[in-house]
Structure formats: C-alpha cells, structure tokens
Chain A
Amino acid sequence: MSTVNIKIDGKEFAVKEGEYILNAARANDVFIPAICYLTRCSPTLACRICLVEADGKQVYACNAKVKEGMEITVDTPNILEERRAIMEVYDVNHPLQCGVCDKSGECELQNYTLELGVDSQSYMIQDTKRETTNWSSVLHYDAGLCIVCERCTTVCKDMIGDAAITTVKRGGEALDKGYKESMPKDAYSMWNKLQKSVIAPSNGTEFTDCSDCGECVAVCPVGALSSRDFVYTSNAWDLTRVPAVSAHSSDGFQIYYEVKPTSIEDRSEKIFRVTNEWNYVSLDGAARFAYDFENRDVTKDEQAFDKAVEAFKKAQTIRFNSVITNEEALMLQSLKENMGVKLYNPEVRAFQKFLGYYQKASGNRFYSTDADALMKKSDFVIAMGTALRNDSPGLKYAFNNVQKLNKGAGLYFHPVGDTLIPTFGKNVECFTHKPGLEEAALYLVLDLFADKEQLPDDVKEYIASFKSSETKTIKEKVMKDVTEMVKDEETGEEKEVTKKVPEMVEKEITVERNGLVDLLGGNSATFADTFEKMMKKKESFSMMIGEDFYYHDKAENLAKLIALVEQTSSIDLVMTPPKSNALGVALICDLDDAAEGYTVGYNENGDFRLSALGDGDLDMPAMNQQEGTLTNMSKRVVPTNAALEYGGYELNDIVSSLIDGQRETIDWTAKLPTAKGYQAVAFDSLANGYNNDGTENRGYLLKTSNRKANMPKVDKFDEASALEGEIVYRCNPARQFSDFTDKAHEIFEPFGLYASTAKAEELGKKVEVVFENGSIIVDVIADHKIEGDITKLSDFKSAQDIYTLFGESRYKTVTMRKV
C-alpha cells in the first residue's frame, strides 16, 4: 500500500494513502478528540469535536482524507473554543448522576469534559422528559443519559447489519435564536441536531427486532445503553479484565471477561460482563452474553478421577466436539498415538475432510483470506453454503460492512430464504436455490468471474451448454410510409401521396439466457443487467464458504470447484469452520469416521462422560476456566486465559497419568504440530491485544504453504440430486452454538424448529419430525426473517443427538407429523 507524508503539529508522519486524518493520527499515537467516530464504520459527523485545521482550513478529522504534504494542526484557539462549547452543550441538562451511573469511570463524556476543562456552563435550555425503556431481553436504554452521538445506530447499520435502531424526534424545545450569533458555529449546529433527536427501535415499535448482539451497548460512550443484566450491579473500576477468546463461534473474537467477587457473602469470582475492543472487533450475542457457562463448585473427586483413568484405559473411542483448546486436542491426539484409541468428532470430521479435499485440489494449506482482511479490502462478496445470519456472525458483519463501507456488492446463495441479507445493500442479489445445487452455484461463479482463457475446455463447454439465446417475438408499433396514388377529382390527374400509417410489426430479438441462473432460482433475463451494475468499479473479490459444503454428498467436487475458482479468478476465499475451535481440531487430530466400542465422551454422549457442564462422571473446566489457545477462522492461534477459579481435575491430569505428558496444560502449547503450520512458541510469550492502528497483535498466524497444483478436474453436477419435498436444515438460532451457550442465563433462544411465519402457521405449535433413522418432537418457532418452506432445526443440545439424525448431510427430507 502506498503512503503519503503528512505533518501533524509539525511532526512528520508517513501514513496510508486514502486514510482519514483521525485514523492516521491514531495510528501514530497522536491524540485528536472524537466521540461519534467508529473506526470501521462510516463517519456520522454528529459530535464535530474532531475538528482540526488542515492546510489552513477547518475540517473534521473523521471525514477528511490525508493528502500528500498536508499540514495539520490539532489545536488552534478557535478550534479549542469550538470544542469547549461542544462539551458545554453536551453537559447541558445531562443528569448529574455520575455517582450511580454504570459508565462512571469509563465515560467519554466525563473524560472529554475534564480533558477540555469545562468547569462552567454558559448555555441553557428546558429539558425534555425522556423515558428509560428496555428494548429487548438484553438491551436497556436510558434516554436521559443519551448524547445522541449515533454510535449505536451507526454500528448497527454499518457493522452488524440489523439496522434495528435509528434516531427519532425528541420533541424538545427549539434553541434560543440568540445562540446562533453568540455561540461557536459548530457547537450551535451540533446542539440544534442533538436537541431534536433521540434513539429508538427502527421498526416503530417499543422493541428492537435484532440479533441481540449488544454491540450498541459496547460502543455507547455514556451510560445510556447498557445490558439489562448489568445495570447498577458494579462500577467499571471494580472489575478485573481477563483477556480471552469467545468460546462459541469459530470467529474466535477477542473478548475481556470482567470479573469481581460475586457478593459480600460469596467471595468467589463471578463474570459480570464481557467487553471488547469495539473499534477493532465486533462481537455476536453469544460472545457477549453467553459467558456464565462455567463449571461451578468443583472439587477434586479422587474416586471419580480413578474411574476416569480406568475408563480411558478401557476406551476404544474418545468422542468430543469443537469446544476444546488446541492443547487438549493435542493431548487427545497423543492418546491416539500412544494408546490407539479412536477420536470421533462428527462436528469437525466433515470439515477436516473438506479441508483435505481443498488442500489436495488447490495445493494451498489454507484458504487465502479472513473476515478482517475482507472488510479492509473487498468490494464484492459471494457467500454460499452458509446461513450467514446463524453460522458465522463475523462473516455476516464482513458481508454487510463491505456493502456499506466499500460501496460493495454481494451475491448470496442459499436454499433458505432470508429477509435480512437483501437489506444489507442495494447491490445484494440473493439466490434461493434448491438444496443439492451448490455445484451449480460454483459453476455460475466460474462463469461470472473466471478468466475464460484459463478454464479447462471441458468446463468451458459445460458452462456454455447452459447458455442459450432465445428468440422472442415482440410486437412493436412502427410508423410506416404508405404511398398511394390519389386521383385528383377536379383535374383527373393522378398524383403520388405519401402518408404515415401506424402499424404493429412483429419483431424478433434474441435474449441471452443463462440456464445456471434460472436453475438457481434467479431470472436470467434480468440478471445480466443487474450483474453488470453490480460489477461497476469493483476490484477485489471474495468468497465465503460454509458448513453446507462440508456436509454435502459431493463435497470433494465442491472443493475442487472452489480450487478451480481460486486458480482461474482473482477471488479470495474464506471458509467457516463449523464451531469454536473446529479448525484447531481439524489440524491437530486425526479423526476417525465412526465411534466404536467403549466410548469416553468429552462434553458429548459416551459410556463414561467427562463434562464441563457439570452433569458428567468427572468434572472438567469450562472454556472460561482454563487457559490455552484456540485456532480461529482467521488462521490465528489465539491465547485465552482463565477468568474463573476451578478446583477439579483437568484433562492434562488424566493424560499425565496415562502417558508421558506435560506438567501443565499450557506446556503443550509449544508442542503443537509445526508440520500443520503451528509454531513452537510458549504460551506465556503470546501477545493478546490490538495496536492503535488496528492491527491484531494476538498470538500468531499459522504458517501457510502453497504448492503449485494442477488444474483440478471437476465433475459435472446432477440436476436431479436437488432435494424436493419437506426439507429440514440443521441450523442453530443466532446466539446459540452449543450446550454452553444454552447454559448461559442471558441467552433466551429456545431449542426448536425455526420456520417462516407462514410455514409455522401451517405446522402448528408442536411437530414430530420424522427422519430415516429416528424422529424428534420439537416446538415450532416462527422467525419472520426466514423465507420459504425449508425449516431450521437447532443442534445445540448435544443430548438430542441431532447430528446422528442428520448423518452426513445438513439438509434432510423428512415427514412432519402434527402432535
């Protein structure tokens, strides 16, 4: 990336071209005050406090881009006067209840009031009564404290994509006319806007219609927005921040568990809330609210431990899931190598196989991009095989952010219709196709994006075979010249007269039809124009691949097609590991296809159960009670720390008594397999944070390796393999990932069959879903963001064994029986 040289307060800096002044200053540790700006969202210009002087002109640092040779002054007497006036205005009628406010101590209004030395107030206006409301089961809004910086609405629209909140009229008094002359200009216009607005749910009701991610709470600079559970329970300064990794989705977001003693009687530590570096990472609802899944009050039960060791000696299979650290996965792998047990993990096995197919076909060890890089660079995103709203919050944010900030476009291929994704941007085109036609979607991508020169001939021909030009006859009105001989009655002379006569003419035009588009549920007659519009000024393309592909009958062919897309086009690729640490498990463990004989289950069903949920034969620490590393979707090995005390045995204790192991769990960190891209680095030397310019300084990136591969040989697809009839899709509601999210008290999404409103009405309240190998009775839950007839069955309760019902597939044709 090219750089430009700028001067801030006389100091020279080389900064990224096209960067906003504010970001450039922040990256170089120069402080410019700003309230309303969020790093990865569009500037709102609500606070106007970031006013600086650039080349003699006053500009807003959050909105003005750097230019070569620009000279910036942060403080001039005039700007300082403006800033002070702005802060004075913010303090007008702001309730003086810092004493009880949750934000006190980390409040930006407090900070800037002190920073700018506001010790008196010169403006006044009558206050408007603003009510405190609860927007949802987690969101609490105190309008009286709100300074309408619009950070919450901005992040909800530009990052999260829900756009669930907006500014509405406050109904406040009009400003005194005299202020227009007497006040600094920017302060006056800021106040004018502030006095008119307040935040409310955008759907016109009292309640937000959103995914309850709580990012609005995180970005709120004052105490206006907080989580309902946290209100008035603790002061910010009493909480100890423990840097960790979200244990639920495979995004591996960095989070801080904030802990302090539970109460006066109970001095054991409790997690009060989860916070994040909201300028650099946005969390989903599970990461923020599903934090209290710890295994409480565990002591060392020697008898149970001895039984566990016996069980491991006897075991033929160890069954586990992806909620496990890299270190534990490595321990299990060592057990396999030393004792010959089978490792069974249906959640990860399909992904591991798929990754293998991909590696073989493409020659790359890993997919090329990740959510962060995608947001920074891409302007065209294709998502397929993933229920974006449910599977991977990080990629959903990236998909949305690209539309909003990079003036991007997007294609979304998925069998389950979604009403939210089309709202991400004007240039988002959704294909709701039949399950089983995922290969067709990839062929369409090849057709649209691949360099035709590079494509193998058979593929070219195959794609061409879907194209047809149809001749259509359309009727058109044409003015026709008609020449007639007219006899002049008087003279008897014959004269030629030309008249214009309207006539309907049948005309033949050719319409290019693309069979692939039609097959995928689009309309090829209009798609060509739409696509041309989408492609305008687009330079960087990315594709997101999800879990549907791993559980596909033709997974190998899909992987080859993806490799072909990568080789013949400039599309970057990102895959969604199914859950939590799925990528780590896939890399570290040699998984087996089936369980066999006596099984030890780790957080899963088995003859002997180790469980961090507190219901097993031997207790294990939950993710927030252990240290270790996880491998996240960005191919990064990230460290997590123990937030809460744990008094029982760990997996390492069992492993140490079985084989020659390590003293501590984290001693395994340096032993992670270097052949798979890991580094021999000790746990304690791993960093965990973000730099001021937003670069991630957590753990380390896996080493990639690329080998030149031959052009993959891809198979044709079978149109007949598309599923028909009553189809159920294995998919969790947003915020639910596993038993651990379910255990958390702030996660309310129930287990059940999620259906579109119309479908839910048709099915009734409860339904028995009959699979080939069993059936399950579940509640039907209406979700108005689903479109079409396919229903989503949750899989987060391991006791329900949904994976067995679905087998090797994510879509199943079933029969529904009313109960």
Chain B
Amino acid sequence: MGLEQFKNRNVGTQNYTKLDLGETPANGFEQFKQVAKRTFKGELFVGLWVTLREMINALFKGQMHTVKYPFEKMPISPRYRAIHDMLRLLESGHYRCIGCGLCEKICISNCITMDTRYDENQRKEVTEYTINFGRCIFCGYCAEVCPELAIVHGPRYETASEQRASFSLFEDMLTPIDQLNLQQEYDGFGAVSPNADANIKKTPLAY
C-alpha cells in the first residue's frame, strides 16, 4: 500500500461540491414560511398512499410479509447456533458420543460436564452429560471440536423455560429413538467439508 494519500496534507484546495440548500431562515417570519411551505406541499399523501397500497396487497392480493410467530417460524440457516442436539448413529441407533471430553475441554465458558465409566463391554460409557445453559454462549466450539459429529447445534432457539435445567441433560438433547429417521445431518460448524475426500491420504492396510 502506498503512503501517498497520507502525504498529501494540502487540505485547503479540495474540490468540494456544495448542496443547494437555499437560504437559512434568518428571522421568525421566514421560519414560519418554511414550515408552512413544507407542510402543505402534498408529500404527506405520497407516504400515506404507500401504506394503503401495501395493506391492500397484503389483505386482498395475498402478499403478506409478516410471520405469524409463534404459529409460524422463519426457516433458519444450517449454521445457526441454538440449543445443542446429540445425534445418534443411523445404523445402530446408539448415541454417537464416545465421551472423549474434547467439548468439555474446549468450552470457553466451562459449561459442559460429563461422567464416564468403564462398562461391561470394555467400552467407555457416558453415564451423564450436561450443559449449563445459564453460562453457554453458543459459540459453537463444542460442535466444531467433536470428532464424531455427535454434539451439534440444533435449530431450537427458544430458550425460555421455567428452569435452566430443562434442556441441559443428555436425554433432552439426544434424538428420540423413534424419530431417528427424521434426524438431520448437521451442516454447520465442525461438519465435514464438501471436499473432505480429496484432502485425505490413504493409509496402507494389510487386509
């Protein structure tokens, strides 16, 4: 970047164009004259006509632009970050979370906690998982760091409830098993990039 523009300190010779604003009223009578002139020019009715036109369009021509919230909701971007969802594996229906604790670690407001144990099948089992939504700032880091695409941000942005705990347990966030077929893959933070395959180097395997 050149520094020329900063070196030109010759302020007085700028080529300004002045607006034609007319004369500034000098006394009380001239001020009164200006107000009366602007008031009765008829521009008021131009504005009123726009309102009337839109009303007619909305009521009789079916061009309504407002959403009847809460009966209607706007579609939101897949990148929107609302209350978290816990996804399941599509094949087995088992929850995806492996209890690695990365979301717990990366959380900048320290609101994720989990309990894990060694289960009967020699696997790590997540016995309990909670997000404190009183502290969550919906930054999306947890979804981004999750290696299993297990924790994602869902579209549920209505966070008013009688208790903060209402959304915060594992079961509340987990896709209900009977709605597994409706589970949507998440496209936002932490999702696999469209060209992921191209970026992978194959590891040789002796099988």
**A contact residues vs B (CB 8 Å cutoff):** 98-100, 104, 119-126, 132, 173, 231-235, 237-238, 261, 263-264
Is B122 located at the chain interface by the 8 A CB criterion? yes
Whether B118 and A235, one on each chain, are in contact in the complex, defined by CB atoms closer than 8 angstroms, is no
Tell which of A100, A119, A123 touches B99, judged by Cβ atoms closer than 8 Å: A100
Across the two chains, which residue of chain A brings its CB closest to B129? Answer: A264
Whether A123 and B207, one on each chain, are in contact in the complex, defined by CB atoms closer than 8 angstroms, is no
In the docked arrangement, what's the CA distance between A126 and B116, Å?
32
| Contact (A120, B105) CB under 8 Å given A232-B118, A263-B128, A264-B113 | no
In the docked arrangement, what's the CA distance between A99 and B99, Å?
7
In the docked arrangement, what's the CA distance between A124 and B113, Å?
39
In the docked arrangement, what's the CA distance between A541 and B115, Å?
53
| Contact (A232, B99) CB under 8 Å given A263-B115, A263-B128, A264-B115 | yes
Q: Could you jot down 13 A-B contacts, CB within 8 Å?
A: A99-B98, A99-B102, A100-B99, A119-B201, A121-B204, A123-B204, A126-B207, A232-B117, A232-B124, A232-B125, A234-B116, A263-B115, A264-B115
Whether A100 and B98, one on each chain, are in contact in the complex, defined by CB atoms closer than 8 angstroms, is yes
Closest 5 pairs between A and B when the two form their complex, measured CB to CB: A99-B100, A100-B124, A232-B124, A232-B118, A124-B206
Tell which of A98, A237, A264 touches B105, judged by Cβ atoms closer than 8 Å: A237
Across the two chains, which residue of chain B brings its CB closest to A105? Answer: B105
In the complex, given contacts A100-B99, A233-B118, A261-B113, what are 19 additional A-B residue pairs having Cβ atoms less than 8 angstroms apart?
A99-B148, A100-B123, A121-B203, A122-B204, A123-B204, A124-B204, A124-B206, A125-B206, A126-B207, A231-B118, A232-B124, A233-B117, A234-B116, A235-B104, A235-B105, A237-B105, A264-B114, A264-B115, A264-B130
In the docked arrangement, what's the CA distance between A100 and B205, Å?
23
In the docked arrangement, what's the CA distance between A231 and B118, Å?
6
Cβ distance A810 to chain B, nearest Cβ, rounded Å: 42
Cβ distance A108 to chain B, nearest Cβ, rounded Å: 19
In the docked arrangement, what's the CA distance between A280 and B102, Å?
32
Is B190 located at the chain interface by the 8 A CB criterion? no
| Set of chain A residues within 8 Å of B114, measured between Cβ atoms | 264
Q: Which residues of chain B from 162 to 200 have a CB within 8 Å of any chain A CB?
A: none
Q: Render B5-36 as a binary contact track against A, CB cut-off 8 A, 1 for contact.
A: 00000000000000000000000000000000
Is B154 located at the chain interface by the 8 A CB criterion? no
Is B155 located at the chain interface by the 8 A CB criterion? no
Cβ distance A589 to chain B, nearest Cβ, rounded Å: 45
In the docked arrangement, what's the CA distance between A162 and B116, Å?
33
Across the two chains, which residue of chain A brings its CB closest to B100? Answer: A99
In the docked arrangement, what's the CA distance between A231 and B105, Å?
19
| Set of chain B residues within 8 Å of A233, measured between Cβ atoms | 116-118
| Contact (A238, B101) CB under 8 Å given A132-B122, A232-B124, A264-B115 | yes
In terms of DSSP, what is the predominant structure of the interface of chain A? loop
In the docked arrangement, what's the CA distance between A700 and B199, Å?
57
In the docked arrangement, what's the CA distance between A123 and B203, Å?
9
Q: Render B41-78 as a binary contact track against A, CB cut-off 8 A, 1 for contact.
A: 00000000000000000000000000000000000000
Cβ distance B155 to chain A, nearest Cβ, rounded Å: 26
Tell which of B102, B118, B128 touches A264, judged by Cβ atoms closer than 8 Å: B128
Cβ distance B5 to chain A, nearest Cβ, rounded Å: 45
Tell which of B100, B104, B122, B206 touches A126, judged by Cβ atoms closer than 8 Å: B206
The size bracket of the interface on B is 20 to 34
Cβ distance B128 to chain A, nearest Cβ, rounded Å: 5
Cβ distance A138 to chain B, nearest Cβ, rounded Å: 14
| Set of chain B residues within 8 Å of A120, measured between Cβ atoms | 201, 203
| Set of chain A residues within 8 Å of B100, measured between Cβ atoms | 98-100, 104, 235
Q: Which residues of chain B from 119 to 147 have a CB within 8 Å of any chain A CB?
A: 122-125, 128, 130, 147
Cβ distance A116 to chain B, nearest Cβ, rounded Å: 17
Tell which of A122, A173, A235 touches B101, judged by Cβ atoms closer than 8 Å: A235
In the docked arrangement, what's the CA distance between A769 and B44, Å?
113
| Set of chain A residues within 8 Å of B130, measured between Cβ atoms | 264
Cβ distance B187 to chain A, nearest Cβ, rounded Å: 23
| Set of chain A residues within 8 Å of B99, measured between Cβ atoms | 99-100, 232
| Contact (A99, B147) CB under 8 Å given A125-B206, A232-B118 | yes
| Set of chain B residues within 8 Å of A132, measured between Cβ atoms | 122
Cβ distance B75 to chain A, nearest Cβ, rounded Å: 34
Across the two chains, which residue of chain B brings its CB closest to A142? Answer: B122
In the docked arrangement, what's the CA distance between A12 and B130, Å?
55
Cβ distance A439 to chain B, nearest Cβ, rounded Å: 54
| Set of chain A residues within 8 Å of B204, measured between Cβ atoms | 121-124
In the docked arrangement, what's the CA distance between A263 and B201, Å?
40
Cβ distance B198 to chain A, nearest Cβ, rounded Å: 15
Cβ distance B158 to chain A, nearest Cβ, rounded Å: 25
In the docked arrangement, what's the CA distance between A815 and B123, Å?
53
In the docked arrangement, what's the CA distance between A125 and B207, Å?
8
Cβ distance B141 to chain A, nearest Cβ, rounded Å: 16
In the docked arrangement, what's the CA distance between A234 and B104, Å?
11
In the docked arrangement, what's the CA distance between A264 and B99, Å?
14
Across the two chains, which residue of chain A brings its CB closest to B125? Answer: A232
Cβ distance B173 to chain A, nearest Cβ, rounded Å: 14
Cβ distance A535 to chain B, nearest Cβ, rounded Å: 52
| Set of chain A residues within 8 Å of B118, measured between Cβ atoms | 231-233
In the docked arrangement, what's the CA distance between A132 and B207, Å?
23
Cβ distance A172 to chain B, nearest Cβ, rounded Å: 11
| Set of chain B residues within 8 Å of A100, measured between Cβ atoms | 98-100, 123-124
Across the two chains, which residue of chain A brings its CB closest to B128? Answer: A264
| Set of chain A residues within 8 Å of B128, measured between Cβ atoms | 263-264
In the docked arrangement, what's the CA distance between A232 and B117, Å?
5
In the docked arrangement, what's the CA distance between A126 and B205, Å?
8
| Set of chain A residues within 8 Å of B206, measured between Cβ atoms | 124-126, 173
| Set of chain A residues within 8 Å of B98, measured between Cβ atoms | 99-100
Across the two chains, which residue of chain A brings its CB closest to B119? Answer: A232
In the docked arrangement, what's the CA distance between A132 and B123, Å?
11
Q: Which residues of chain B from 87 to 123 have a CB within 8 Å of any chain A CB?
A: 98-102, 104-105, 113-118, 122-123
Cβ distance A100 to chain B, nearest Cβ, rounded Å: 4
Cβ distance B145 to chain A, nearest Cβ, rounded Å: 11
In the docked arrangement, what's the CA distance between A767 and B201, Å?
70
Whether A124 and B101, one on each chain, are in contact in the complex, defined by CB atoms closer than 8 angstroms, is no
| Set of chain B residues within 8 Å of A99, measured between Cβ atoms | 98-100, 102, 147-148
| Set of chain B residues within 8 Å of A234, measured between Cβ atoms | 116
Cβ distance A261 to chain B, nearest Cβ, rounded Å: 8
| Set of chain A residues within 8 Å of B101, measured between Cβ atoms | 235, 237-238
Cβ distance B206 to chain A, nearest Cβ, rounded Å: 4
